[in-house]
Amino acid sequence: MVDLQTQYMRLKDEIDGSVLNVMDSTRFIGGPVVDGFARELEAYLGCKHVIPCANGTDALQIAMMALGLKPGDEVIVPTFTYVATAEVIALLGLTPVMVDVEPDTFCIDLKQVEEAITSSTKAIVPVHLYGQCADMEGLMNLANAHGIHVIEDNAQAIGSDYHFSNGKTVKSGTIGDFGCTSFFPSKNLGCFGDGGAICTNNDELAATARIIASHGQTQLYVHDLIGVNSRLDAIQAAVLKVKLPHLDDFIARRTRVADRYDAAFSSCEGIKTPVRGVQSKHVFHQYTLVLNGVDRNELKSFLAENEVPSMIYYPIPLHKQKAYAMGNTDRNYSTTEELCANVISLPIHTEMEEQQQEYIIEKVLEFVNKG
């Protein structure tokens, strides 16, 4: 699905040099490379504070802890997402309340969010799925009107822009109280292991999140809060420091791949290409088709027989997962159920050559037209 090898080869000298410098310094935990990367990411995102941590799941957990959410508090999440979003809610004893998504953007459905708000609702977690933002303007208006916190799950959309109707444009992840991201290797900005970050424009929340990420420690061996041990290590930061200046180029390369897929599939009956919302720039973490009348299992097998990988993100919605039954309500989840049954993601990455892509397109069209 992604070609990390070729990307590494292209940046090898820079990355190797950066990693070797950390090895020479033996500053493996914290230190100037981690701090330097955090400051550079703040500048890129245009946000006041970036707090690096061990992974995107921890980022969500630390954000929820920093907001002081307590067991029994309700947190609204889309049911069409990766499990991490709901996992941390449940781990903290909070109550996930699952709502459906919009059919075009695959992001949280604001009408259902509004209906789901109760006096116990303390936070909403919009997930910027596949690389484009949820309707953050509408969501922030709703959340502010009810005094509810917003934590953006920005794991799949780092680098995306969000345009407000007043003309203001900001980076995804910098709109809510917190934005949480993942540097998992296959993400748009990926390191060589696990990594994550929390960002916020709120000084007080930033200070609390920083303390929580470091065992709740306010001074050496003084623990005023219960925290976690969640650190981005310096070797990962060294990789990310090299890759960050390339992020906009990575996004442009992914977008060129998406444009070529769109052109090939747009007039093909049975395939719906991704809808690009007007308020958000799509950064194409995934290129996901919605099939209509095309047998997905057979298409997937046909592609595999022809050595074309494909993935289903996600086959089972949260509300149907045994572990998360507590968040299932009697709401209508028809859009998510339709998507879980019909989405298929094709390979997309920064190194895709036109010839490779033509082959993938040819195989998809061969199967769909045959049917």
Ligand X SMILES: Cc1ncc(COP(=O)(O)O)c(C=O)c1O
By CB under 6 A, name the binding residues for ligand X.
Answer: 55-57, 81-82, 84-85, 127, 153, 155-156, 182, 184, 194, 196
Comparing CB distances to ligand X, the nearer of 302 and 314 is: 314
Structure-block tokens of residue 84: 């991490």
Comparing CB distances to ligand X, the nearer of 154 and 357 is: 154
Contact by Cβ (8 Å): 232, 195: yes
Residue 286 DSSP SS3: coil
Contact by Cβ (8 Å): 329, 98: yes
Comparing CB distances to ligand X, the nearer of 82 and 367 is: 82
Q: How far is the CB of 184 from ligand X (least distance, A)?
A: 4
Residue 50 DSSP SS3: strand
Contact by Cβ (8 Å): 101, 339: yes
Comparing CB distances to ligand X, the nearer of 86 and 361 is: 86
Q: How far is the CB of 358 from ligand X (least distance, A)?
A: 29
Residue 56: closest CA among 197, 151, 161: 197
DSSP 8-state symbol, 241: H
Contact by Cβ (8 Å): 209, 66: yes
Q: How far is the CB of 316 from ligand X (least distance, A)?
A: 15
Structure-block tokens of residue 204: 């007080």
Please, which residues have CB within 8 angstroms of residue 170's CB and are 6 or more apart in sequence? 46, 161, 162, 164
Determine the length of the chain. 371
Residue found under tokens 């020479």? 24
Q: How far is the CB of 255 from ligand X (least distance, A)?
A: 19
Comparing CB distances to ligand X, the nearer of 47 and 107 is: 107
Nearest residue to ligand X, by Cβ distance, number only: 56
Please, which residues have CB within 8 angstroms of residue 282's CB and are 6 or more apart in sequence? 130, 131, 132, 160, 255, 258, 274, 276
Contact by Cβ (8 Å): 149, 302: no
Q: Containing H/E element for 161?
A: strand 161-163
Residue found under tokens 């050595």? 307
Q: How far is the CB of 56 from ligand X (least distance, A)?
A: 3
Comparing CB distances to ligand X, the nearer of 18 and 182 is: 182
Q: How far is the CB of 362 from ligand X (least distance, A)?
A: 30
Q: How far is the CB of 218 from ligand X (least distance, A)?
A: 26
Q: How far is the CB of 313 from ligand X (least distance, A)?
A: 8
Comparing CB distances to ligand X, the nearer of 55 and 214 is: 55
Comparing CB distances to ligand X, the nearer of 83 and 365 is: 83
Q: How far is the CB of 150 from ligand X (least distance, A)?
A: 15
Comparing CB distances to ligand X, the nearer of 182 and 336 is: 182
Beta carbons within 10 angstroms of residue 267's beta carbon: 8
Q: How far is the CB of 230 from ligand X (least distance, A)?
A: 10
Comparing CB distances to ligand X, the nearer of 80 and 367 is: 80
* C-alpha distances in Å from residue 364, one per residue of 2, 41, 55, 231, 280: 18, 38, 34, 42, 28
End-to-end CA distance of the chain: 25
